[in-house]
Amino acid sequence: MGKKYFGTDGIRGTVGQFPINPEFMLKLGWAAGKVFSDQGQTKVLIGKDTRISGYMFESALEAGLSAAGVDTLLLGPMPTPAVAYLARTYRDAAGIVISASHNPFHDNGIKFFSTEGTKLPDEVEFAIEEYMEKPMEMVSSAKIGKTRRIEDARGRYIEFCKSTVSRSITLKGLNVVVDCANGATYKMAPDVFEELGANVIPLHCAPDGLNINLECGSTHVDSLKRAVLEKGADVGVAFDGDGDRVIMVDHNGEVVDGDELLYIMCQGKHHRGEMDGGVVGTLMTNFGFEIALKEMGVDFIRAKVGDRYVMEQLKTNNWQIGGESSGHLVCLDKTTTGDGIVSALQVIEAMVQQDKSLSELKKGMKKLPQTMINVRLKEKQDLSTHDAVKAAIADVEGQLEGRGRVLLRPSGTEPLIRVMVEGDNAQEVADLCAQLAGEVEKVVAG
């Protein structure tokens, strides 16, 4: 039986529309507080990004937690991975993040972290939903939860980020443009790079509650590319609104995406003799990444799209590193969740240690051309088992002769099937994708 409120990454939606309203958040705070207190946890940390609705939802969650007899520790604007880290260091405190990640300001959401700094297991989310269906009954007045603000949270997280690179590393002489998407990293990311010695050029570090992710950050890098070229910077770093993703730009103004960053991180570990185990990508990870890892002798597997599934495969295989093309990268030897600042530091550490530019390092991986065509369905259906579609896929795979791959992936939100072909020749890839999409359309029209 599916969950009523929780999706693959917490609870998310449009502000003012159920469930992203104050009434629901009050009840959610109470329900979560009841579950956490049942588990013996007496404190909950709350962090948020910079969108204007965060203040309202913070107050509602705080009231609900207090009514359940749980103390609230307020962190203020704080990246999602910082809340995960602080929950881990507090030992008996769960974490809540109020954020809609890379979405615009009029969306918001809630993410939870356990005392280990990981996403909540399914059984805990189910338990919270069970309490949501019960009448809200507060504890006695003497047991109402207290609230206080953690004044040094920012400093703690900055020191943690710096600790994830070698003490011998200095960024002195490195000019870095840091785009914080007017989001949760705006107070911390520039300080991290500056304290490590870099000359920091801050960009989009002036949140007003409405401009989070607005034509900036990891999903809109045009202004970062311009800034890197105009300032003659060595590298540009762009985070999303809650700081769990990173995309970078090299000194030529060229974008370096999540697949390329993950390759550079792996290459850096391999160079230092620290590569332990394999790497987890997703169904959308570029085939060139897989080839580059094979040349290094590193195992690789693909998970379904979504950081939750990447994390599941990492834990199953007892591996340390994985990620997505979007820039959501995970280094389990450094922290427990995707962390944009930590990931960027691993890439820059590789640059400094090998005395190479980001542009030079990314050349070790050749991104293969990729074409995707969306085929609209009359209704959601699984075409992967259809005989005609299977034959068409086999035909295309035969023409690629191991030089690429084919993927049919249903949309999670629309009646669409995404037909993707990757290979070493752009024109051939485009032709084969059109050929396969045409066969799929015939089956749909059927």
The catalytic residue positions are 101
CA 206/CA 181 separation, integer angstroms: 9
Amino acid at site 310:
V
Neighbours of 380 (CB within 10 A): 12
Neighbours of 368 (CB within 10 A): 20
Half-sphere exposure at residue 147, Cβ-oriented, CA atoms within 13 angstroms: 15
For every residue of 90-141, DSSP letters joined together read HSSEEEEEE--TTS-TTEEEEEEE-TTSSBPPHHHHHHHHHHHTS---PPPG
Phi, psi of 280, deg, nearest 5: -110, 125
Closest alpha carbon to 247 in 276, 225, 279 = 225
Q: Report strand pairing: 107-113 vs 11-14.
A: antiparallel
127, 112 contact by CB (below 8 A): no
CA 392/CA 377 separation, integer angstroms: 18
In Å, how far are 83, 274, 280, 303, 427 from 298, measured between CA atoms? 32, 12, 11, 16, 30
Closest alpha carbon to 445 in 384, 391, 373, 388 = 388
